Amino acid sequence: MKTLVANFSTQLTEAIAIGSDAKLIPSANKISNVLICGLGGSGIGGSIISELVIAHATVPVNVTKGYFIPAYVNENTLVIISSYSGNTEETLNCMELAIAKLAKVVCVTSGGKVAEIAGKKNLDTIIVPGGMPPRSCLGYSLTQLFFILGFNKLIANEYKAELVAAVKLIDSEEKNIIAEATIIANKLVDKMPVIYATTYNEGIAIRFRQQLNENAKILCWHHVIPEMNHNELVGWTKKNDTLSVILFLDADEYSRNLTRVDINKEVIRKYTSNITEIHSKGNSRIEKAIYFIHLGDWISVILGDLRGVDLMEVNVINHLKSKLSEI
């Protein structure tokens, strides 16, 4: 897993080439909305991109992480099926429902049943390299989402240059990223991480939570500012130094949110001395997101090593899938 994390920039570079060479067919109908279907490592890219493009996408970009699709899906909907293995049963169900509703369906997968169905139905499909844990292949899936939206003229073409810049950024910062990740991981040993981010960085917080779950084998939770100021902040009432707060921060964040962060820290410090700030680097939201993702991934694998766990093992997920296959 550490090798896969270390190779993130190489994966992004390969993913950009795959997206640039993708053979996609324009929709016969005007696209009025987008739905991205996927779960876990295959689905988190949808959560992240829906926030990254919210300020300039020409149509709504929504995400579903279950068996069903919203009632609004029709022939004017672009449905992106994201399943790394191609065998995610929830996503396959969404795929069949989207096809039945005559939506414009585009698939991102390494193969499996998704590729099989797409071939039979003559659906647009972008094939990415297989054989790796889905959580280690976010670079492939997230990048293809940008290219699919860009091909359909739902976002401007700046994303290409920003993805390339993101690769250069993490390559140049790699030593610093690993050093910072090591410091933070050591702070999290025997702690319960509490992850906070601001509104349009929730996907980043979720990604970090998922990586801590799967790689480091620990429980944790996340929330978003300012929403948590209307509920969770009230829950900080008892001193508990087993809790360790991680704040994903961006200096370009809306000033009122930055003020909220400062006030939140004042409140939280009364109940835990463990507060760590992770500050973004980069010149665009895409660069900053890629930086956050890579740093978070490194924290998760270093923490897993410190805990002495098998970073690759996900036996309980395989057990769940096996039980479901018997029904």
Structural domain contains residue 313: no
Catalytic residue among 230, 266, 323, 326: 230
Q: Is position 230 annotated as part of the catalytic site?
A: yes
Residue 327 has pLDDT above 90, yes or no: no
Structural domain contains residue 322: no
**Are 187 and 222 part of one and the same domain?**
yes
Q: Is position 321 annotated as part of the catalytic site?
A: yes
For residues 92 and 66, what is the distance between their CA atoms, to the nearest angstrom? 10
* CATH number of the domain residue 250 falls in: 3.40.50.10490
Mean pLDDT of the region 234-260? 97
pTM of the model: 0.97
Structural domain contains residue 294: yes
**Are 8 and 152 part of one and the same domain?**
yes
Residue finishing a domain among 107, 122, 156:
156
**Are 228 and 179 part of one and the same domain?**
yes
Catalytic residue among 214, 217, 222, 288: 214
Structural domain contains residue 164: no
**Are 103 and 197 part of one and the same domain?**
no
Q: Is position 222 annotated as part of the catalytic site?
A: no
Across 280-300, b (16+ Cβ under 10 Å) vs e yields bbbebbbbbbbbbbbbbbbbb
pLDDT tens digit string along 15-38?
Answer: 999 999 999 999 999 999 999 999
| Residue 273, pLDDT score | 94
| Residue 283, pLDDT score | 97
**Are 129 and 224 part of one and the same domain?**
no
pLDDT tens digit string along 299-326?
Answer: 999 999 999 999 999 999 999 988 998 8
Helix (H), strand (E) at residue 37:
strand 33-37
**Are 143 and 200 part of one and the same domain?**
no
**Are 265 and 303 part of one and the same domain?**
yes
**Are 130 and 30 part of one and the same domain?**
yes
**Are 149 and 266 part of one and the same domain?**
no
Structural domain contains residue 77: yes
pLDDT tens digit string along 200-237?
Answer: 999 999 999 999 999 999 999 999 999 999 999 999 99
Structural domain contains residue 263: yes
Structural domain contains residue 324: no
Residue finishing a domain among 91, 124, 156:
156
| Residue 308, pLDDT score | 97
Structural domain contains residue 74: yes
pLDDT tens digit string along 93-137?
Answer: 999 999 999 999 999 999 999 999 999 999 999 999 999 999 999
**Are 189 and 145 part of one and the same domain?**
no
Alpha helices in the chain (DSSP H): 2-6, 8-21, 40-52, 89-100, 112-121, 138-151, 158-188, 202-211, 255-268, 285-307, 315-325
**Are 135 and 181 part of one and the same domain?**
no
40, 63 Cβ separation under 8 angstroms: no
pLDDT tens digit string along 46-99?
Answer: 999 999 999 999 999 999 999 999 999 999 999 999 999 999 999 999 999 999
Q: Domain containing 263: what range?
A: 173-307
What is the number of structural domains in the chain? 2
Catalytic residue among 56, 153, 270, 321: 321
| Residue 72, pLDDT score | 98
**Are 145 and 256 part of one and the same domain?**
no
| Residue 325, pLDDT score | 86
Residue finishing a domain among 104, 126, 156:
156
For residues 40 and 138, what is the distance between their CA atoms, to the nearest angstrom? 10
